[in-house]
Amino acid sequence: MKGKLLIAGAALALISSCSNMENPLLTESAAPFGAPQFDKIADEHYLPAFEAGIAEAKAEIDAIIANQEEPTFENTIEAMEYAGQTLDRVAGIFYNLMEANTNDKMQEIAEQISPMLTEYSMYVSLNPVLFEKVKAVYEKRNELGLAQDQMKLLEDNYKSFVRGGANLSDEDKAVYSKWSEELSLITLQFSKNVLAATNAYTLHVTDSADLAGLPDFVRSMAAETAAEKGLEGWAFTLQAPSYGPFLKYSENRELRKDIWTAYNTRAIGGEFDNTEIVKKIVDLRIKIANILGYETYADYALEERMAKSKTTVNEFIENLLEPSLPFAKKDVADVFAYAKKNGFEGDRLESWDFSYWSEKYQQAEYSLSAEELKPYFQLESCIDAVFGLATTLYGISFTELDNVPVYHEDVKVYEAKDADGSHLALFYADFFPRASKRGGAWMTEFRGQSIENGVEKRPFISIVCNFTKPTADAPALITHDELTTFLHEFGHALHGIFAQGRYGSLTGTNVSRDFVELPSQIMENWAYEPEYLNSFAKHYQTGEPIPAELIEKIVAAKNYLAGYAQVRQLHYGYLDMAWHTLTELPEAGTVEFEKSVLDKYAVMPSVEGTAFSCSFSHIFSGGYSAGYYSYKWAEVLEADAFSLFKEQGIFNTDVAASFRENILSKGGTEDAAVLYRNFRGHDPEPQALMEKLGLVK
């Protein structure tokens, strides 16, 4: 197209003429739908692919700069949008696998390419000639007759330059570049340390008496983990499917304390220490915010989100914390009272006691346990049910493919088709934990949706989880919590699958951070709807449907410990904002600072020497810095949004069609507040969340 320009010359000639032609990251994919060639990609391909991708991207930017024609939307803004596609593809594959299937070599490569990518980013964002071209188009934006998405793309590009230092002096640009490179490297080190610290710990049990209270599925998994590690007996790790059940079921209080302490001192001291790295990250973010003209990093980060300001976020957190705190304290008091009546001899519950006794209390109150429910949630049945929900609501279908390469044998690939049979996306699902995968669950993409020169690229969407693995004795049986997580990540996936638009930077999940959780969190609601659960939950051995009384207990227990859970989640958002509203580093150490922040709203006793900050990957190596509040923000959105499904019917296709049209397919083409009003007819109402959680007097 006109704005793309021809990029001949030495740079691209070199790229296309040498051994890179054999690099599966740089050659056209022969896999179905042009999917990534995971079966051909080796570690040694990454560095040359990044080098080639950066060279190509720079050549494309240089061509835009060298164009002597008057700057236009097409030859500047659109041309920039389509520049660097090779680099985007390579980075999309590499960094996704860094999270899901990493190794030491990849981590070494990440350290090598981090300064290269930072330098390229500065090459673009700090280029004065390029900025002047963008500015020239921006200043005449109202005369260009641009469509909604074009205007949004132009405004986003202009703001990105300004927020990226384009208005800085040459001297300040050099300083900004230096700090940005340092921040890139140190956040990478933070992530490496968390993974290494997580994998470094093993609770090795050789006496079967120490397994008291643990269900069979936990014992079987621990036996297999021990065998994998070459150990006798049973091994428990800090991976969620091992750590969580151990705390919940183990009768051995000392061992519970051991594993809890290990989890909550990850990356504090020792070989993988993050205590000083946290402060270095915060310091660099303060400096970067200041040099760009902002008082704090939160001021900088929130400018482009729905909340807009730190004042709004802090008021939002406080307004939920204050009324929730009495409910949280009552939750803890109720669990403690139950524990005292049933043999607990301590003066107070410690953190390593709470999960165990709250599980016991839940069983007593609701006669409900995760172990009792698991046989009804075989993973394969849950996959069919989650896909089936999408079929019911949106008419789409999923077909498993065996001819698309995967990056690990556990990964499954499906083709998503629309109601008319047209191709929507490839969907990758990676369910089980392993040492090469970080903890938690997330959605990502190997390629987003876009249209260029009239040709549409449909997305490659992926969800990555850490669900309970199958054992020698049973298939993969997941907990109800894991089902809820599955629905959550699948909601993100639908946001990517339904993407529509011309510009990849505005489609799918490319929305403000405090809006992106709406499509995921609204899906969790179906995990508590009897009509939905009845449609698929059957005992994996007998085929018997889940008993009605069990579903009643699931629904009745939905808000069990809702106050405690709400305050706990708000704690994380409060801590995040505390770090990112600093104007200078505190004199206190990382652990001490966290304690001073959270003690005000503590509902459990603090434990000396423990802290969450040093493993808080969301805010120190992920994308949620000054943004962790967005989970609760989105809960308000989804509670208000799901109330429309409750009014019209949880499988109502008209409501679903409106949600797809106004939210899921629109991406970031319009302001999030406008998109929400278009769907719901009004602004979100926070009271909807408090009522949903039963936190009202």
Residue 192 domain flag? no
Instruction: Out of 264, 285, 317, pick the residue that ends a domain.
Output: 264
Average pLDDT over every residue of 591-599: 96
> What is the predicted pLDDT for the residue at 369?
83
Claim to verify: residue 160 and residue 57 sit in the same structural domain: yes
Claim to verify: residue 389 and residue 501 sit in the same structural domain: yes
Claim to verify: residue 635 and residue 624 sit in the same structural domain: no
Which candidate, 648, 647, 620, 635, places its Cα nearest to that of 691? 635
Q: List CB contacts of 438: < 8 A, sequence separation 6 or more.
A: 99, 100, 102, 191, 194, 195, 198, 617
Query: Which CATH number belongs to the domain containing residue 584 in this structure?
Result: 1.10.1370.10
User: Which band of pLDDT confidence, cut at 50, 70 and 90, is reported for residue 21?
Assistant: low
What is the distance between the alpha carbons of residues 375 and 366, in angstroms, rounded to a whole number? 18
What is the distance between the alpha carbons of residues 174 and 265, in angstroms, rounded to a whole number? 37
Residue 68 domain flag? yes
User: Which band of pLDDT confidence, cut at 50, 70 and 90, is reported for residue 668?
Assistant: very high
What is the distance between the alpha carbons of residues 255 and 263, in angstroms, rounded to a whole number? 12
Query: 232 pLDDT exceeds 90?
Result: yes
Q: What is the pTM of this model?
A: 0.83
More confident residue, 240 or 415: 415
Which candidate, 406, 403, 449, places its Cα nearest to that of 429? 406
Q: DSSP letter at 78?
A: I
Claim to verify: residue 676 and residue 546 sit in the same structural domain: yes
CB atoms within 10 A of CB 439: 17
> What is the predicted pLDDT for the residue at 600?
87
Query: Which CATH number belongs to the domain containing residue 514 in this structure?
Result: 1.10.1370.40
Q: Which residues are catalytic?
A: 489
What is the distance between the alpha carbons of residues 430 and 433, in angstroms, rounded to a whole number? 9
In the chain, the number of structural domains is 4
- Give the range among 83-87, 209-213, 435-439 with minimum mean pLDDT: 435-439
> What is the predicted pLDDT for the residue at 388?
98
> What is the predicted pLDDT for the residue at 367?
86
- At 669-686, the pLDDT tens digits run 999 999 999 999 998 888
Asked if 224 and 244 touch (Cβ cutoff 8 Å), the reply is no
Q: What share of the chain is helix, strand, coil (3-state, %, to 5)?
A: 60, 5, 35
* Full residue range of the structural domain in which residue 109 is found: 10-125+127-167
End-to-end alpha carbon distance in the chain: 62
Claim to verify: residue 336 and residue 470 sit in the same structural domain: no
Q: Residue 453: which region, alpha, beta or left (left: phi > 0; alpha: psi -120 to 50)?
A: left
Output the CA–CA distances (angstroms, integers) from residue 643 to 525, 614, 639, 693, in the order listed.
10, 38, 6, 13
- Residue 410, classified by CB atoms within 10 Å of its CB into exposed (0-12), middle (13-18) or buried (19+), is middle
Asked if 96 and 462 touch (Cβ cutoff 8 Å), the reply is yes
**Token digits for 432?**
């089980």
Query: 8 pLDDT exceeds 90?
Result: no
Asked if 259 and 243 touch (Cβ cutoff 8 Å), the reply is yes
Claim to verify: residue 551 and residue 453 sit in the same structural domain: yes
> What is the predicted pLDDT for the residue at 18?
41
Claim to verify: residue 467 and residue 526 sit in the same structural domain: yes
What is the distance between the alpha carbons of residues 654 and 649, in angstroms, rounded to a whole number? 10
Claim to verify: residue 162 and residue 30 sit in the same structural domain: yes
Residue 305 domain flag? yes
Claim to verify: residue 519 and residue 437 sit in the same structural domain: yes
> What is the predicted pLDDT for the residue at 687?
84
In degrees to the nearest 10, what's the CA dihedral of 97, 100, 101, 103?
80
Beta strands at 397-401 and 442-447: parallel, antiparallel or unpaired? unpaired
Claim to verify: residue 400 and residue 506 sit in the same structural domain: yes
Q: DSSP letter at 352?
A: H
Claim to verify: residue 664 and residue 584 sit in the same structural domain: no
> What is the predicted pLDDT for the residue at 3?
33
Average pLDDT over every residue of 507-524: 94
Claim to verify: residue 663 and residue 526 sit in the same structural domain: yes
> What is the predicted pLDDT for the residue at 14?
36
**Token digits for 608?**
């000396």
Average pLDDT over every residue of 318-341: 96
Supply the DSSP string of 279-320, one letter for each residue.
Answer: HHHHHHHHHHHHHTT-SSHHHHHHTTSSS-SHHHHHHHHHHH
User: Which band of pLDDT confidence, cut at 50, 70 and 90, is reported for residue 380?
Assistant: very high
User: Which band of pLDDT confidence, cut at 50, 70 and 90, is reported for residue 472?
Assistant: confident
- Give the range among 14-18, 155-159, 190-194, 236-240 with minimum mean pLDDT: 14-18
> What is the predicted pLDDT for the residue at 10?
33
Q: DSSP letter at 97?
A: H
> What is the predicted pLDDT for the residue at 684?
87
What is the greatest pairwise CA distance in the chain?
Answer: 82
Which candidate, 276, 303, 283, places its Cα nearest to that of 179? 283
What is the distance between the alpha carbons of residues 286 and 258, in angstroms, rounded to a whole number? 36
- At 96-116, the pLDDT tens digits run 999 999 999 999 999 999 999
**Token digits for 360?**
């016991």
**Token digits for 11?**
């740079």
Query: 314 pLDDT exceeds 80?
Result: yes
Residue 150 domain flag? yes
Average pLDDT over every residue of 439-458: 95
What is the distance between the alpha carbons of residues 378 and 479, in angstroms, rounded to a whole number? 9
Residue 1 domain flag? no
For the chain, percent of residues with pLDDT exceeding 70:
97
Query: 300 pLDDT exceeds 70?
Result: yes
- At 597-631, the pLDDT tens digits run 999 899 999 999 999 999 999 999 988 999 999 99
| Mean pLDDT for all residues in the chain | 94
- At 360-371, the pLDDT tens digits run 999 998 888 888
User: Which band of pLDDT confidence, cut at 50, 70 and 90, is reported for residue 11?
Assistant: very low
Query: 5 pLDDT exceeds 60?
Result: no
Residue 5 domain flag? no
Instruction: Out of 608, 628, 648, pick the residue that ends a domain.
Output: 628
Average pLDDT over every residue of 438-447: 94
Q: Is the dihedral of CA 531, 640, 506, 284 positive or negative?
A: negative
Q: List CB contacts of 144: < 8 A, sequence separation 6 or more.
A: 73, 137, 150
For the chain, percent of residues with pLDDT exceeding 90:
91
Instruction: Out of 571, 606, 628, pick the residue that ends a domain.
Output: 628
User: Which band of pLDDT confidence, cut at 50, 70 and 90, is reported for residue 13?
Assistant: very low
Residue 180 domain flag? no
What is the distance between the alpha carbons of residues 371 and 391, in angstroms, rounded to a whole number? 30
Residue 469 domain flag? yes
